[in-house]
Structures are given as C-alpha cells and as structure tokens.
Amino acid sequence: MPDAFADHLIDTPPAAENSLAVYTTLRLGGPAGTLTTAVHADEAVETVRAASAAGRPVLVLAGGSNVVIGDAGFPGETLLLRTGGIEIVGEDPASVVVRVAAGETWDDFVSYAVTNSLSGVECLSGIPGSAGATPIQNVGAYGQEVGHTIEAVHAYDRVADEIRKMTPAECGFGYRASVFKHNDRYLVLSVDFRLERSSDSAPIRYAELARSLGAEAGDRVPLDLARDTVLKLRAGKGMVLDPEDRDTWSVGSFFTNPVISEELFRTLGEIPHWPAGDDMVKLPAAWLIERAGFPKGFAGDGVAISGKHTLALTNRGAGSTTALLDLARTIRDGVRTRFGVDLHPEPVLVNCEF
C-alpha cells in the first residue's frame, strides 16, 4: 500500500540521490546504500535474510516517524516496509483479536477500530508511523500503551532464521521500551491486538484528556469523542503530521520523561511528578526543559524546539541531523546542570550519536 508519510515528504527541498530524508518525518538523513521496497511479508523476510547472509547491515523503515538518521546516511540495505492489511483472526463475545500488517499506517488502524466499535487504542489516535513500529518502543499517549492490548507480535528472528509468534512477556514491554528496541535481531511482520467490543472508550486515565472531555478519571466516553479529542489535543501540540507546518517536522517527543529514584527526587524541591513503582518517580521532561531555560521556539542552526510543544525538536527546512543533535545535547546538558537529571532520547538513532 502507499505510505502516507512518504507521500507527504515528496515536496521537501531537493536532496541527494537515494536520500533517506524523504522517508522520515524529520526530513533529515543522508543517502542509502541500497533501497528495497517490500509490499509482502515474505519479500521483507527474504531481503533481510539475503542481507544477513551477505553480512550487510539492514535498516527497516516504514513511517519513518521515530528515527533520526545521520547526515552520512546508512551505507547498508534500507528496507522500505510497505506491507498492509487489517483482519480479525479471533473473537469471543467480549473481544476480538485484530492482526495488523507491520507496514499498515497506525492511525488507519485506530480509525478502523473506532469505526468498528473496538475499544483499546482510541487514545493513540494521530500518532504517526506504522503499526509494526508501535511494539518496538511500546508506543503510548494519553494513558494508553500498545502493550496494554497486544496479544502477540509476529517477527522474523534473524538469528534462528524463523518466524516467531512472541507473547507480550517475550516482548519485554516497558516504558517506551521492548526487546525490539536497539536490537536488530527481529523484523516485526504483524501485530495482534485484543480489543474490547464496545462503543465506549477504555477508562480515561490521563488528566489532560479527562479535562478536555469534561470527564473524571476512570470514566468512559464514546469512542469517536475520545478519538476526536485526542486528535485536537495532538494537533494543538504539532503532533499530527502536516506538510505545511514545520512544527510537525519532528519525531514527536525527542526525550522520554526521566524516571529517577525517590532519593534523588527529594533533593529537587517542588517538581510535578508521578509514581513509577519500585521507589522510582517519573518527571515531566517538558517541565524540566522549560525551567532549564529552553522555551518553545528555542532555535539552533536550521532546527528549533517546536513552537507548540517543548519535547519536539524540529527541522525548520534547512536543518541537518548534526544541528538537531547539537540542539538536543545543549538541552540535555542544561537540564543536567540545572537539576542533576539526565534526559534520554526516545527515537532510534541511526549512524549518529547523542
């Protein structure tokens, strides 16, 4: 199927031949060594298998929404995953299991779920990228994570040279983490989601969303209302792709919210926070960044913090990956100096370092 995000990127400024910039939402990245497009899962497997046999590194790209590629590009094999399909593979009176191809556009799947009165992913509306990318970092927003509904991940295991059906426990889901992240052993081919049969949302868990809905934490609201409200909230933060809005030329949140010990937290004074379990506390990265002296719109060389959302680092049209990472380091160092807290990048870094 066509890749909606690649279509959006066709009108970017001229880039080098085989430039990977046209396949990323940042519109940054140097040339690919080799580009191969797979529209079927078996084509993807054979591409990766052949590259592994030849000792060539492989970069898999679908929506390109959570990856930062170096200015030198990627010298190996770049696989453009363009598989598609959504099908029900199991059901009972209370729920259904929906299998989604890895290359399927994520928000198309969320729209499908809401339209068919299937509850569990509605608060993940508007997130760019592909369905296959979501388990890699256990994508989450507004109180939901894909790990809450994933029944299984079907992946090609390059070491064992076999396709595996992996349980949630085997996926090792954590906060924006899984066994797939920073690990090229697995090629995600499809994902099974167990969704509740309901025209109402899952219980609302996120305070900002509850306020916008005029609801209380734990309330359920109509699915389409939850989706529409999330889309409006995300658009207001530049988190819904818009080719005309350079505040959306980003990877979404560049930094994860830091999780620190309660002991360190007690030394910091009054800071917004949430319990993270095991004597740990989660802090809002955006709050730390702003209080460290980096407001919305803070600019680097052709790059800047979004004018709508402090966690988004954006390409203003003439940026480079080097400039983006320089800005990220400046922010990281400023937060460390001010609070003694380290920020860590959320996206996958390819042929570049933070």
Which residues are identified as catalytic?
Answer: 176, 253, 346
Q: How many whole angstroms separate alpha carbon 343 and alpha carbon 332?
A: 6
Residues sharing a CB contact under 8 Å with residue 301, sequence separation 6 or more, in sequence order? 319, 320, 323, 326
Q: What share of the chain is helix, strand, coil (3-state, %, to 5)?
A: 30, 30, 45
Residues sharing a CB contact under 8 Å with residue 323, sequence separation 6 or more, in sequence order? 300, 301, 302, 303
Q: How many whole angstroms separate alpha carbon 138 and alpha carbon 180?
A: 10
- Count CB-CB contacts under 10 A for residue 118: 24
Length of the chain as a residue count: 354
> 292 and 335 in contact (C-beta within 8 Å)?
yes
Q: How many whole angstroms separate alpha carbon 204 and alpha carbon 220?
A: 6
Q: How many whole angstroms separate alpha carbon 217 and alpha carbon 348?
A: 33
